[in-house]
Amino acid sequence: KNWMFAGSDRGGQTAATLMSLIATCKLLGVDPYRYLRDLLTELPSHQTDHLEEFLPDRWLQAHPEAKLTDHGKQK
C-alpha cells in the first residue's frame, strides 16, 4: 500500500523506475549515489541513440572504480 501515496500514477511509475535502478545497482555492487549522480548529470546532453550506455551493468564497465566492496565501501 506504500504506492497509494506516490501522488499520481506517473509519480508511482517514476518511483518504481528509480527503485528498480537502485536495486540493480545494489545487485551489481555499484554505488547507487554515484551512478544516479552521473546519470542525472550526463543524461541531458547525451545522444539518445546511445542511452544503453547508462544501464547499470554497462555503466559499471566504463566506471570500474564505482564498484563497491562487500562492506558497501568503494574499492
25-49 tens-digit pLDDT = 999 999 999 999 999 999 889 888 8
Position 26 scores a pLDDT of: 92
Cα distances (Å, whole numbers) of residue 59 to 1, 11, 24: 33, 25, 12
pTM recorded for the entire structure: 0.75
Host H or E run for residue 17 = helix 9-28
**Cα separation of the two ends of the chain:** 38
